Amino acid sequence: MANPILDKVAIVGYEMTDFGDLYEMGIADMSNMAINGALRKAGVDSNEVDALYVGNAGSGQFLGQEHLGCLIASESGIYTNATSIEASGASGTAAMRIVTHGILSGYMERVVVVGVEKMTSLNKSADTQEALATSLDTIWESSMGATLPGNFALMAKAHMREYGTTREQMAQVAVKNHDHARLNPRAQFSNKLRIESVLNSKVLADPINIFEGCAASDGAAAIVMMAPDVAESYDSEPVFLRQSHQTHDYLSLQQRPNLHELRSVRKGAEMGYKKLNITAKDISFAEVHDVYTIAEILAIEALGLVAPGEGGKATEEGKTSLNGEIPVNTSGGLKARGYPIGASGVAQVIEIMDQFKGNAGERQLKDIEWGLAQSLGGAGGTSVVSFFSR
């Protein structure tokens, strides 16, 4: 049981690489750049680090490389215990959550979490889709032809039938996130996207078009986490992780009672609100898992940021844009910032750090009190919802 006096964990240093086609960099190179950048910003020497946790979804699939913790620790000069965590798209924040427990228990004081993925080594789309499908139920889904976009397409159709969500509303998620990414110098895609281009792009899995999904990316993102009393020596105004909840639903869609909601996300959000004695109305902004446009709509509903069935309408009306009532994916999201799978959750945290630290440039929000990050594994089997404040 955690020390009741210690109810939060500080995040001090953070750094990430650009996201995109980093052909010239290996997985250890990217990790090293992010880790040592975060340590420099935190003012922490590598020999002060108690542990290194690596969030990675598919180095075995993409690279044929396992034992990733040891590899990255060796290359980064961190000679302490190193562990790799896999939870599909939630790998990075799942690693962060484990570190949180270690710090709260008093077992660790200074820990580095790095999320990383090297995806461009697989240059055939069929190979990439096959690798992504391992995050589904391989007995009842992927072995019978199911794919990740195919499963989200089923969820999109269910949402459209239940609530009348339109293809235009889904496409607007991509348009909005590209608009945000244009203000993010490290985003993979900085081009403006017109709704007509999204709707007229090639069908990926009906009703999802190819411009509504994420591209394969390389990249790494790292944060330095500390006990609050230790952090005082490094940062007089740290940002705190206040709650983080990992929850699950059935892995296969066939076992879920309905396909138009993300129950795993809803459960994690409700637990966090209850523990913190806040409501969804207290959230100032959120980074959510928009691997496909329907995923963002499902996420903001499950988080309670909008009412069930209102996610598409809220996006269409601009409520989730940078100047809207509840800005969502100010970084550009997975869609436009990029989606190196294991790095995506930690990159969400870095966007939250930039916002709280006033380092977000043209996408800087004002008067923020609570930030929320939501990561998703597979088609909603795993969710990590995390809450941040000063």
> How many CB atoms lie under 10 A from the CB of residue 359?
12
Read off the DSSP letter of residue 357.
Answer: H
Task: For residue 303, tell me if it sits in a domain.
Answer: yes
Helix axes 293-302, 167-181, angle to 10 degrees: 90
Spell out where the chain has E strands: 9-16, 51-55, 81-85, 110-118, 203-205, 208-209, 218-226, 239-248, 285-287, 371-377, 382-389
Residue 61 belongs to domain with CATH number: 3.40.47.10
- Whether 99 and 171 map to the same domain: the answer is no
- Whether 194 and 281 map to the same domain: the answer is yes
User: Do residues 212 and 173 touch, judged by C-beta distance below 8 A?
Assistant: yes
pTM listed for this prediction: 0.95
Strand order in the sheet with 81-85: 81-85, 51-55, 110-118, 218-226, 9-16, 239-248, 382-389, 371-377, 285-287
| pLDDT at residue 61, rounded to an integer | 86
Read off the DSSP letter of residue 215.
Answer: P
- Whether 274 and 350 map to the same domain: the answer is yes
Task: For residue 3, tell me if it sits in a domain.
Answer: no
List b or e across 232-270, with b for residues whose CB sees 16 or more CB atoms inside 10 angstroms.
Answer: eebbeebbbbbbbbbbebebbbeebeebbbbbbbbbbbb
- Whether 144 and 181 map to the same domain: the answer is yes
Can you tell me the distance from the alpha carbon of 109 to that of 225, in angstroms, rounded to the nearest whole number?
Answer: 8
- Whether 199 and 348 map to the same domain: the answer is yes
| Domain with 62 in it | 9-123+217-231
Residues of the chain below pLDDT 50: 1-5
| pLDDT at residue 4, rounded to an integer | 40
Joined together, the tokens standing for residue 227 give: 């006990």
CA dihedral over 324, 293, 214, 222, signed as positive or negative: positive
Task: For residue 188, tell me if it sits in a domain.
Answer: yes
| pLDDT at residue 124, rounded to an integer | 54
Task: For residue 15, tell me if it sits in a domain.
Answer: yes
- Whether 90 and 179 map to the same domain: the answer is no
Residue 303 DSSP SS3:
coil
Give yes or no for a cis peptide into 207 (omega within 30° of 0): yes
- Whether 89 and 180 map to the same domain: the answer is no
Residue 130 DSSP SS3:
helix
- Whether 164 and 77 map to the same domain: the answer is no
| pLDDT at residue 33, rounded to an integer | 97
Joined together, the tokens standing for residue 313 give: 């309408």
Are β-strands 9-16 and 239-248 bridged in parallel, bridged antiparallel, or unpaired? antiparallel
Count how many domains the chain has: 2
| pLDDT at residue 178, rounded to an integer | 98
User: Do residues 54 and 72 touch, judged by C-beta distance below 8 A?
Assistant: yes
- Whether 307 and 221 map to the same domain: the answer is no
- Whether 139 and 104 map to the same domain: the answer is no
